[in-house]
Structure 1
Amino acid sequence: MAGMSMAEPMIVGVELGGTKCIATLAQGRTILRQQRWPTGTADTLTLISDTIALWERETCLAAIGVASFGPLHLNPHASHFGHMGNTPKPGWAGVDIYGHFASRFAMPIAIDTDVAGAALAEGMWGAAQGCAVHAYATIGTGVGLGLVVNGQAVHGHLHPEAGHMRVRRQPGDMFAGVCPSHGDCLEGLVGGPALAARSPIAAADMTDDDPLWQTVAADLAEWTTMLILALSPQRLVLGGGVIQARPMLLPLIARQSADLLNRYIADLDYGALEQLIVAPGLGADAGPLGAISLGQRAAALP
Structure 2
Amino acid sequence: MAAAPVAGRFAGVELGGTKVIVTLADGLNIVEQHNLPTTNPAETLGAAVARLAAWDDAAPLAAIGIASFGPIRVDPAAADYGTMLYTTKPGWTGARVVHAFAERFACPIALDTDVNGAGIAEAALGAGRGCKTIVYLTIGTGVGGGVIVGGRPVIGRLHPEIGHLRLRRADGDRFAGVCVFHGDCIEGLLSGPALRARFGRDPATVDPADPAWEMAASDLAELFVALMLTLSPDRIVVGGSVTLGQPGLLARATDRAGERLMKYIADYDVTALSCIVRPPALKNDAGPLGAILLAVGADQGGTPGVTSGLRSAALRDSRC
Contact 2:141 2:192 in 1 (8 A): yes
Encode CA deviations 1:65-116: one digit per residue, 9 max, x unaligned. 0001111112211110111111111111111111111111111100000011
Partner of 1:112: 112
1:213 deviates by 2.4
Encode CA deviations 1:236-261: one digit per residue, 9 max, x unaligned. 10111111111222221210001111
Distance in 2 between the 1:208 and 1:224 partners? Answer: 20
State the aligned residue count: 298
Partner of 1:83: 83
1:181 counterpart letter in structure 2: F
1:286 deviates by 0.8
Encode CA deviations 1:190-242: one digit per residue, 9 max, x unaligned. 11111222223212222222333222211111011001100110111011111
Distance in 2 between the 1:254 and 1:263 partners? Answer: 15
Partner of 2:94: 94
Encode CA deviations 1:133-192: one digit per residue, 9 max, x unaligned. 111011111111110112221111101101000121122221111111111100011111
Distance in 1 between the 2:101 and 2:53 partners? Answer: 10
2:19 counterpart letter in structure 1: K
Taking a change above 3 Å as real, the CA distance of residues 99 and 250 of structure 1, as seen in their structure-2 partners, is same
Distance in 2 between the 1:14 and 1:73 partners? Answer: 16
1:28 deviates by 3.1
Q: Percent identity?
A: 49
Partner of 1:196: 196
1:266 deviates by 1.7
Identify which range, 23-32 or 91-100, moves more after superposition: 23-32
1:57 deviates by 1.8
Partner of 2:266: 266
Please tell me whether residue 128 in structure 1 is matched to residue 115 in structure 2. Answer: no
Please tell me whether residue 30 in structure 1 is matched to residue 29 in structure 2. Answer: yes
Partner of 2:182: 182
1:19 counterpart letter in structure 2: T
Partner of 1:10: 9
Gaps of 5+ in 2: 303-320
1:195 counterpart letter in structure 2: L
Contact 2:134 2:149 in 1 (8 A): yes
Match of 2:212, SS state, is helix
Moved over 6 A (4+): none
Distance in 2 between the 1:20 and 1:213 partners? Answer: 28
Gaps of 5+ in 1: none
Contact 2:116 2:146 in 1 (8 A): yes
Distance in 1 between the 2:82 and 2:204 partners? Answer: 34
Distance in 1 between the 2:137 and 2:189 partners? Answer: 15
Give RMSD over aligned pairs.
1.6
Distance in 1 between the 2:212 and 2:30 partners? Answer: 37
TM-score, length-scaled by structure 2: 0.89
Contact 2:170 2:219 in 1 (8 A): yes
1:272 deviates by 1.0
Match of 2:257, SS state, is helix
Partner of 1:51: 51
1:257 counterpart letter in structure 2: A
Distance in 2 between the 1:252 and 1:10 partners? Answer: 42
Please tell me whether residue 220 in structure 1 is matched to residue 220 in structure 2. Answer: yes
